[in-house]
Structure 1
Amino acid sequence: MSVRYQIEREDGPICIVSFIQDEDGNKVRVKPLKKRKRESEQIKDLLEQIEFKDGNSPLEFIESCLEKFDENAFSYREVDSGDYQVTLQFGVGKKQIGTSSPLINGVSEYFGENVMSDALERMKTNAYYNLEENANELLAMVRKERYQEAFELYQDDTVKTNLYLAGTAPEILLDAIFQIKAEELPHESRVKLSLQKLGACEINQCHARAESDARWLLEQDSSLSEDVIFNVRLALGNALVSQELFEAAEFHYNEALKMEKEINAHSKAWAYYNIGYVLKSQGKMTEALESYTKAGDLWLNKGDHQQAIRAYMSVIRHYEGSQPKEAIHILQERIDHLVVLQNSNSETIGISHVLGYLYFHQGKIADELKRYEKAKDAFLSSYHTRKGLIGIDDEIEATLNYLVIVCRALGESEEAQSWKTKLHDFKERSIKTEDWKLRERMITLLNTDSEIDPHKLAELKQDVDKMESIHLRVMFLLTLASRQIDEKPDIALQSLDQAMKLNIEEYPDEHVLVLKLYAKIMKVLNRMEKAYDYLCEAIRVKPTYIELYPQVVFLAQELGKDDSKLEHALSWVKIEEDNVTAWQVIGTQYEKLGQPRESYEAFKEALAVAPFDPEVQEQIKQSLHRVTEQVMEQTETDTRSYPLIADFLNEPKEKVHKTIQNRMSEKLYSFQKIIEKHHTPDFWRRESGKIKWISSPEKKAQQYLLLYLRTQLHPDIEVLDEVVIGEGRMDVYIRIPPGINLILEIKMCGEGYSSTYTKGAIEQTEAYMDKKDCTMGYLVVFDARKRDLGKGFEQLYQLGNKQIETQIIDIRHKSPSGN
């Protein structure tokens, strides 16, 4: 008999008292809860005062103890016989997860999680070793041609259980079952063994090995159920895919789906997933992504969280490579869907795992894009979603690592230190898996200044290869190559070549690291062209990896690849829109290519995102001024529209005036469109959260008009500025041979410049025209009024024999403060 009570006071639980009766007699045990050791000693003292008399039953003794607690102002309640409630969720593969929830207040939740994580790890390890022993027994039977006995041993329930727990089959076990001569078995046993061989090949991802058994099984069609035929067709499709026979594989997958009414959702998900892979391999991305999404949804609904992650990530990684913003959007859609599902579902272990994984990947993309606030939010969500799960210590450790990194990037040093402490505590108490131990051995052996012990290195490599983990093997080769780069670059290249042979394309993070190291080695060897090629390939694999762009851009510059430099810079700003260096590179390259309009737009973007550094801002402003002149010079001009000076000598004066008037109207209209389309922002600045005119906006307007007219009018026409006349100065004065003069006056209107002030320019212009004996004048109004644009001005003012034409240019800011 065992009865347990939690002893409490108002400030919380103190200890657990267990009353135990067994063959050794009656016992009482006191288990202090967290930080309550002193009060627990008081409970022990009280219990020692109670005498267990002969003849008293255990229940009478318990009642005496409880009365003693009452007398001393302690409360109590009977509790469950266990400290923790454990839920486990197993799945095909190496990742088994679960939760451990304390049943008693004050019991450490971490202790339960650690115990269960350790239990899971031991279960998997023991299962794997047991399978190796089974394999040796099978091989001994096969050598003696005792095929039926070997087959029967493989059918043992303990073998099935161990396969389930280990999540993989040792290679020696696969070799053993494939050495059983199937033709020596009864038909029913042969069918069963062939199906089991297909399953083992699926677990170990050695699909091609299953082809002959799959084809034989399909020949037995009449004796197999439809769900079995479905899975056989999947296995055959997988075998064909592994040989890159994609069309044949697609045929078998689609044949399987024709039986979908009889097939469960989990199996259908595999068919959709495999079709997605085939379509992707054939370049049919739209159809592939649709199939992957169907597979992910089906798996998630059936609780297969690991496969759901695999399917969703196939979609997300595609978009991450070409359209990172779309990848983030799809991630958010999946996350929102899972949050709803989690809130409406009582069985949430698998959902929490998938959700936490997607949050983590969202954080990784944001971190690569240097959007650290978003990255932090995503990593926090990932941590809080998964921190109660057991069996995924490596994933939680990675999340804590990233939280330290992004908090440092945000300048939040105290919070970064807090997460670093949590990471340290987590690593201290987490279960040291075989993967973890190997990673630590790599770091100890390879990240030191001392000479590497070749025997220890060979031993480490052997242990890494035994794990059959691509991630671990790549990590080993990368760490080794990093160590060898400076002194033995050729040997480092061999390590990277080995990494590239590990189907690394399926692991973009590791693939990029390998390519970066290739590029680094090429630079050491002074093979810059090859280094450039490797960096380009790294960007193709992972376009969101921002730190690659400055490297490839400046290497392109060093190699004189101007077109490529521009292409990479344009890709850079698609990923990192507020990078001033990238915009400056784009502006400079467009200027070199003789495209001043595009150069001007790039430098404007650079100025908009430039840090508050007077030197940087002045540099960009100088570039803007330089290309502005080029823009005006390159504005499309039809030379036939030049007024022909020689023709004026033979034309009546009225006709000459009309020709010039028409040409000037056309030019001023063209100028209006250029300013409105490209240069409106140049007249505004932001100050204390408000939009205001730049300093001396009329000067800026005059500068643009002069630049435009001097590049657009006939070379024989003089365009003068600030010509003194009486007590005033004309903004623009044009002299056209053989003696025709024009006066242009520039005025701002709105945002502090009243319309009355602007209209005063009519009288002012007329006065200038009188003094210069002009009959044609122009008022160019840069109008910023929000509601009254153009109001109060006539298109043409006829003043006796003089005409003043008005040109209104809309330079309203998107949100001006008013008229």
Structure 2
Amino acid sequence: MDKTAFEAEPDVIRVRIAVSDRSDHGQITVVTFETSPTTQFQFSTAADATHRYLIDDCAKEAINAVKAANTVRADDWFENLVADICVRLEARGLGVDRLPAADVELKFEIDLRSGVLVGRSQALHPFAKADDAITRGVREAISKAFDPAVETLLKALKVQISAGEHAEAARLITENENAHLAILSRHNGLLDTICQIDRSKLTQELRIALQRVLITFAGNQSREELVGDDAEDLLREDIGLDHEARIYLQTFIGVAAIRRGRDEYAISTWRGLLRTPGQITARQRGWIWRNLSMALGNDEPEAIRAAENAIDAFLEAGDKREAAKSINQLSVLLEKTEPKNALQQYDRMLTVISRNGVMDDEICANIFHAKALKQLDSGDPGEALQSAKAAIKVREGLIGVEEALLSSMHLAAICALNVGLEHEHLQIDAAIKQLESQLKSGHFKIARRVQSLLVCYKEDEARELLREVEGKSDELFAGVSIAAAIKNPNLTPIQRIGKLEATLRELEQRKVHEDTKYPARLAIAQILRDEGEWLRAAKWYYKILECSHMNILVKQLLIDTLWQAKEWGSAATFIKQELDAVGDRPGLLYAYGISLYEDGRYSDAVKALHDALRLADRNETLQEKIRALRDQALDRGGTIMPRTTPISPDAPVTLDYIGGVLSAFRDFISGSERMGFWHKSDKAKDYEWISSPERHGQKLLRAFAKGHFLDRVDEFEELWTGAGRLDVLLKFAGGLSIIIELKMCGFRYSSNYAASGETQIRHYMRSRNVHVGFLIVFDARLQQNGEKLLVGATNSQDTIDEILIDVRPRVT
């Protein structure tokens, strides 16, 4: 190679080409041509001898052609010369491609509020390859560029404050360069040190300058409570503030008040600002509405409206990132009452984000990851796996979010295992180990040691891990502390709870996210369950669900814990809230029915179990359990309640109304109860009637009638006629009486047997002087199903209606 680099010179022009030998497996050689005032023309290449000779030869031919032409050199002579060389190379059978000035483009974006610096390397032509290691090194250099300057500034401030030179410290931090450094810094110690400057020892002008820096710095770190008083001072005394700045300060003061526990003050402040929306910019409205939504809490309907208003305001302002964050706030609010809608908000966030840069890519990856967590919590690992893989796909190639990429990969591995995709789980786990090895990730290396500690506890290893995580990740601290508490064999249950509660107190002081506290709370609840302290365990499950509304595992544990405690009413109340949120589901309705039954609310239990039976049509095992419990509820006096509001109890019952109720009973039995009349043993070739099917039908009729007629049935008398036949006499409010006969038909019951019910009804009509009756036939005839059985007597004063209920166990 003739040259390895060019010195930076003015007016240097360079052109690069890729020369490929089509006959040599596509071997690529990069050639760089250069011209400058000091060097008229030269080129450099790393080609081998053969290619070097061809390039040299073509270059000489082109130069000689220029000399032979003996013309005045044009302004574009260099471009023409390179073009001629390319033509000659192609004539020799070589491929030539023009290349851009660089091989790889590095892009970086920083979020000033979070301090996250994200980058991506992108190859600019097909012959280049992006090098993530180089990009990672550049990012690390950028991220650490502020460190020495921040440490120097911090040291100088501490010296001046210790010496009582508060004015000098304030002047130092308010200098433009240092002020910008402080605002861009994520150094918590720097903010704490600046707050130690005694404002009372400053002139008004210097104090106002310091307070402006402090407020911006604290806002970027979400530590508004430290300087809330400064914001109030600035609002009162800085007459140079414009209207927009004053709105910002009032909003800031509200946030500081929230962090100090003065919620009502903050809410009143923000509501006051929103009374004159025309005087506030759209972006400021967005911040105020979202702050208001977060302050109001999950149980306030106004909170949802405020979140929606925040979304609209940020979109109006063109701030799609903040609009997406507001959608996330809306999703949190909907988790308890509308979990399905809450999940849909993640798709809405993805629609809002424009993907115009690497930071937008990371935001989208965060959304996919968060969606996967919620889907896993809500018991849908298959969908969670797809969302986690989407997060991985977006994060691959991003520099600066490798820990987040590993987190998404771990999540995907867990989801794959839950779905039963063992092979995919192993593939993802192998990729995780490879990436951890490349990155030398200390975070996940410690995480694996914590996992090992949970499998095989070692006291020395636990102490060493606690020492290593001190002052580092809150999640790792929680993981090690919890493992030490629950796996140390020398601890009693009381001691375990004590250590877990100490861990929670430490996490509270660190002001960690509620998700970080979840494992400790869950561990305490489990220990209490193991000790038989059911109600105390339930309190911890309730506490978890206050922050994690969609966690299906905790919901199941809570229901079981309430059952173990015999708190059937509390269990029913909780399950009803879940049904209101997620809609009717057979398993949940069955659990609701169990709770109601054990609580002694038999009619409510019958209704819940009937609804469960209707939805469990493809699960025979569950159907059998539901029917068995429903029948027990009926035996204990439960009734089948109507879906519509019954008429006034004072209104007389008419024959039309009775006919309508019995028609509804027909539909009820045929629709979801028909298989309750049948059983089929393993050795039997066909279905058989259950024992005493008439009695089963009568029990269902009695419950259904009580549920619909309520107190308007004065008497429900059973009339035994021998040989298993059963009549029923019903007397209603208003004086109307009817007789009902139940008959089975089909399989071992003949049509003649069923039709004989007419004779039985007439017998009782004469003895009771009641001339209105109904013959209800549970019709299992396969060939003649639905065909009338009664002929009807002539010259009779009796009125007998026939109701055929289709209870065929099979069609053919």
* TM-score bucket of the superposed structures, by smaller chain: 0.7 to 0.9
- Per the alignment, do residues 323 and 797 of structure 1 end up closer, same or farther by CA in structure 2, a change over 3 Å counting? same
Q: Say how many residue pairs are matched.
A: 734
Which residue does the alignment assign to 2:218? 201
- Equivalent residue, structure 2, for 1:680: 671
CA 1:494–1:605 in structure 2 vs 1: closer, same or farther (change >3 Å)?
same
Matched, 1:295 2:310: yes
**Conserved in 2, the CA contact under 8 Å of 1:793 and 1:806?**
no
Superposed counterparts of 1:730-809, under 5 Å: 732=726, 744=741, 746=743, 778-780=774-776, 797-801=792-796, 803=798, 805-808=800-803
Deviation of the 1:202 alpha carbon? 2.0
Pairing 1:394-405 to 2, within 5 Å after superposition: 394-405=403-414
Q: Does 1:411 align with 2:406?
A: no
- 2:606–2:638 CA contact under 8 A, matched in 1: no
- Which residue pairs with 2:227 in the alignment? 210
Preserved CA contact (<8 Å) 1:710 1:719:
no
Q: Contact conserved, 1:546 with 1:572, CA < 8 A, in 2?
A: no
Q: CA deviation at 1:555?
A: 2.9
Secondary structure of 1:81's partner? coil
Give the Cα–Cα distance (whole angstroms) in 1 for the partners of residues 555 and 29 of structure 2: 60
Q: Is 1:707 matched up with 2:716?
A: no
**Does the alignment pair 1:496 with 2:501?**
yes
Q: Which amino acid aligns with 2:187?
A: A
TM alignment of 1:99-248, pairs within 5 A: 99-105=120-126, 107-109=128-130, 111-112=131-132, 115-144=134-163, 146-147=165-166, 149-156=168-175, 158-160=177-179, 162-163=181-182, 165-166=184-185, 168-171=186-189, 173-182=190-199, 185=202, 187-248=204-265
Partner of 1:648: none
> Which residue of structure 1 aligns with residue 335 of structure 2?
320
The change in CA–CA distance for 1:81 and 1:350 in structure 2 (over 3 A counts) is closer
Question: Does residue 549 of structure 2 align to residue 543 of structure 1?
Answer: yes
Contact 1:485 1:521 in 2 (8 A): no
Instruction: Kindly provide the CA deviation profile for residues 387-439 of structure 1, in whole angstroms up to 9, marking residues without a partner as x.
Output: 4544333333333223223333333334444444444444444584x755765
Q: Is the 8 A contact 1:208 1:239 kept in 2?
A: yes
- The verdict on how the C-alpha distance between 1:734 and 1:536 changes in structure 2, with shifts beyond 3 A counting, is closer
What's the CA shift for 1:213? Answer: 1.8
Q: 2:371 maps to what in 1?
A: 362
Q: Against the structure 1 CA distance between its residues 770 and 564, is the aligned structure 2 distance closer, same or farther, given a 3 Å change threshold?
A: closer
Kept in 2, the 8 Å contact 1:672–1:809? The answer is no
| Cα offset, 1:134, TM superposition | 1.0
Q: Which amino acid aligns with 1:6?
A: A
Pick closer, same or farther for the CA change 1:745–1:177 going to 2, 3 Å: closer
Question: Which residue number in structure 2 is paired with residue 644 of structure 1?
Answer: none
**2:367, 2:544 → 1: CA distance?**
23
Cα distance per residue 1:222-268 (max 9 Å; x no partner): 33222322222233222322222223333443555578667654444
Task: Return the offset for 1:148.
Answer: 5.2
Report SS of the residue matched to 2:459.
coil
Report how far residue 210 of structure 1 moved: 1.0
Structure 1: gaps spanning 5 or more residues: 31-42, 637-661, 686-693, 724-730
Which residue of the partner structure matches residue 30 of structure 2? 17
- How much does 1:189 deviate? 3.3
Q: Secondary structure at the match of 1:547?
A: helix
Equivalent position of 2:457 in the other structure: 449
For the 8 Å contact 1:169–1:204, the answer to whether it is kept is no
Distance 1:199 1:75 in 2: 55
* 8 Å Cα contact 2:457-2:488 kept in structure 1: no
For residues 161 and 764 of structure 2, the distance between their equivalents in structure 1, rounded to whole angstroms, comes to: 116
Q: Specify the code of the residue in structure 1 equivalent to 2:796.
A: N
**Deviation string, structure 1 residues 119-142 (Cα, Å, up to 9, x no partner):** 434433442453122110122234
| Equivalent of residue 553 in structure 1, options 554, 559, 578 | 559
Give the secondary structure class of the aligned counterpart of 1:463.
coil
CA contact (8 A) 1:279 1:288 kept: yes
Deviations 1:688-733 (A, max 9, x none): xxxxxx957999984544336789997985334767xxxxxxx656
Deviation of the 1:463 alpha carbon: 3.0
Contact 2:613 2:672 in 1 (8 A): no
Change beyond 3 A, Cα 1:215–1:429: same
Corresponding residue number in structure 1 for 2:650: none
Give structure 2 stretches of 5+ with no counterpart.
1-5, 7-13, 64-77, 643-652, 677-685, 707-713, 731-736
How do residues 344-383 of structure 1 correspond to structure 2 at under 5 angstroms?
347=356, 349-383=358-392
Task: Give the 3 Å change call, closer, same or farther, for CA 45–248 of structure 1 in structure 2.
Answer: same
Partner of 2:92: 71
**Matching residue of 2:524:** 518
State the Cα distance separating 1:291 from its structure 2 match: 2.8
Larger mean CA deviation between 712-721 and 210-219 belongs to 712-721
Letter in 2 for 1:312: I
- CA distance, structure 1, for counterparts of residue 93 and residue 207 of structure 2: 74
State the alpha-carbon separation in 2 of the partners of residues 542 and 673 from structure 1. Answer: 42
Question: CA–CA distance in 1 between the matches of 2:534 and 2:728?
Answer: 56
Q: What's the C-alpha RMSD, in Å, of the aligned pairs?
A: 5.2
Q: Secondary structure at the match of 2:302?
A: helix
Q: How is 1:333-352 mapped onto 2 (pairs within 5 angstroms)? A: 334-335=348-349, 338-339=350-351, 341=352, 347=356, 349-352=358-361
**CA contact under 8 A between 1:480 and 1:492: conserved in structure 2?**
no
Q: Is residue 590–residue 612 contact of structure 2 (8 Å, CA) maintained in 1?
A: yes
Measure, in 2, the Cα distance between the counterparts of 1:663 and 1:265: 64
Aligned mates of 1:577, 1:562 — CA distance in 2: 21
Are 1:169 and 1:203, in contact at CA under 8 Å, matched by a contact in 2?
no
Structure 1 residues 483 and 701, CA gap change in structure 2 (3 angstroms)? closer
User: How far does residue 368 in structure 1 lie from its aligned partner after superposition?
Assistant: 1.8
Distance 1:527 1:770 in 2: 63
- Output the CA distance in 2 between the equivalents of 1:423 and 1:78: 36
> Are the equivalent residues in 1 in contact too, given 2:296–2:302 (CA < 8 A)?
yes
The corresponding residue for 1:94 is 115
* 1:286 corresponds to 2:304: no
Please identify, of 451-460 and 435-444, the stretch whose mean Cα deviation from structure 2 is larger.
Answer: 435-444
1:286–1:576 CA distance, 2 compared to 1 (3 A): closer
C-alpha contact 2:743 2:777 (8 A) present in aligned 1 = yes
Q: Give CA deviations for 1:75-99 in whole Å, capped at 9, x if unaligned.
A: 4332331312525243311323344
What amino acid sits opposite 2:210 in the alignment? Answer: L
1:719 corresponds to = 720
The aligned residue for residue 4 of structure 1 is 16
Asked if 1:392 corresponds to 2:401, the answer is: yes
Question: C-alpha separation between the residues in 1 aligned to 2:211 and 2:423?
Answer: 60
Q: Are the structure 2 counterparts of residues 208 and 596 from structure 1 closer, same or farther at C-alpha, using a change threshold of 3 Å? A: closer
Are the aligned partners of 1:698 and 1:746 in contact in 2 as well (CA < 8 Å)?
Answer: no
Q: How does the TM-score come out when normalised to structure 2?
A: 0.74
Tell me how far 1:159 sits from its aligned partner. Answer: 3.6
Query: What code does the residue aligned with 1:44 have?
Result: D
Question: How far off its partner does 1:73 sit?
Answer: 4.2
Counterpart AA for 1:133? T
Code of the residue aligned with 2:104 in structure 1: it is D
